[in-house]
Structure 1
Amino acid sequence: MAQQQTNLVFFSEQGEQFLVVLNGVQQNFNPQTNVKVTNLIQPYYKVKIRFVDGRTPDIDKTINFNAGTETTFIVKKTKKENYVLRWLSEVPIMQAPQNVANQNIVVFSTMPPVDPALNGTVNNTTTTVVHSETNAPSQQSGNVSMGVNINDPELGVNMNINVNASETGMHTQNNTTTYSQTQTTTTYSTGSTGGQIQRPGVNGYTGTVGCAWPMDATSFSNAYASIQSKDFEDSKLTIAKQVIKNNCLSSDQVKQIMLLFDFESTRLELAKFAYGYTYDIGNYYLLNDAFDFESSIDELNSYIEGYQR
């Protein structure tokens, strides 16, 4: 019997952006307010709703649903100011609404998502190495013994001859051992250039991450110029927080923004605010160079140690 597929829909009541993680694998690349995950075949999934505001704790919940349905769950805030995930509705999958506005639809995957803006493809290259071994020729020897008796009455000859001979030669046995080793290399390439994807500022980073992926170079350059164009510190800070709150940055990008401010206190305030919106939080020590006083570094470290993601 064919397995019935199921869709899951998650949306936030107040428009908070989030990432959906199913069985430990992130499904949507960019934070969204409404996410539909399709092609699910199991009756149970471990769900994590990961908020990107840097303050709201994740929601962890095991959910179950009927096969062949589209089941909707709502992310909402309780009277105690806690966020919960609640079942809302269920319809047969053939009756589910199509083309819902502002809904991000993703196909369930056991691999982390690739940035959809890159229009990328996955290339698998398989290399097989075949190795053969043939036994080397071996030296062999042998002895031959032969007796000859000649008797000729007419000539009056009677002879006995004994012949002993030895032979040494090379013998080759064709015993060949063959084995193969296969290695598969996966690379992501863009649809436009076919080149390998290069990520700005965090190439090779494998540590803990705080958000989906930092801004691309062009978007960050535009945001940086917008902040820099303001004359007053307060105006710069307001725009900087707007940019950070609605994006994901690298530690290096946060540091560049910090250096636009003249006052140590403003830089410290911005560093605290940006921590929850930073991708490579393991590199956050890079921000220490933007401070003039050790006390600011100590205060930021204390903030990070007490931070609850």
Structure 2
Amino acid sequence: MKKITFLMFLVTISQVLVAQTSSITIFSEAGDPFYVLLNSVRQNESPSTNIRVDNLTNTHYTAEIVFANTSMPSIKKNMLMAVDVDGNWGDVTYKIKEKGNGKLVLRYFSFTPYQTEPLIPSDLTVIQYNTSPMPAIVTSTTTQTTTTTNGAGDNVNVDINVGGVSVGMDVSINDGVSGTSTTTTQTTTTTSSTIPNEVILVEEDCYAMRPADFRGALSSIESKTFSDSKLTLAKQIVKRNCLTANQILKITKLFDFESTRLDFAKYAFAFCYNPENYWKVNDAFEFESSIEELDEFISKH
């Protein structure tokens, strides 16, 4: 009996220890291959468009996205969350997207609670968290070229351009055959650990409101008798606390009039933590015209 109890204890402890880890999944909405650096250490050997890093034991990491396309600026985020707003461990997904102004950003996308056997998509590159520095990233290479020219003993001028630096050479090789001279260029590889000159620093304006705090806010709004008072309080709350699309939906449903619901939904969009899911707010409206007006508003912001 003691052996069984001890075995159950070990199993419970092992489950707790395993659960105290998270994964971060990052994907490029446009399909641009990239490298992921966590706490200044590169995680993937080859660039990929969809990367998951497992066995993360910290709640936050400094993250940098470095694109294989060297003309694209890297994205840096100092506080990338590896847990949800309540501190739960799991798989936190972020996406790389382009804003309306053309700037790239790294945005929160979703959270999935910890699973012992998660479903892994075929296009997902899975990596175990790495703390050992990797070799420098190869940024540019030249290819080997062989050129045959007429005239034994002729001088051949060769100009090689590597990484914007032009190198000229005079090479003459006589192979002993009349009228033939062979010139060969040398392959050169340039490496660098820091690819782009420009770095976009991404900082969250706010973090999603905790469920317990939201329940208190929802109760305060419901306690107001008049619609105008509800709307004023709701706008005060959303202005000072980022809300998820689901939380905004719940507040929007508290208003009696369609026009008030639409007013609040438009106002709250700028403070939504996950704006890619704002379509959920459509469930608060009775008329298609309201949904269309909200959609038109969102498309301009």
TM bracket, shorter-chain basis? 0.3 to 0.5
Question: Larger C-alpha radius of gyration, 1 or 2?
Answer: 1
Between Structure 1 and Structure 2, the one with more helix by share is 2
The structure in which a higher percent of residues are strand is 1
TM-score norm. by structure 1 comes to 0.41
TM-score (norm 2): 0.42
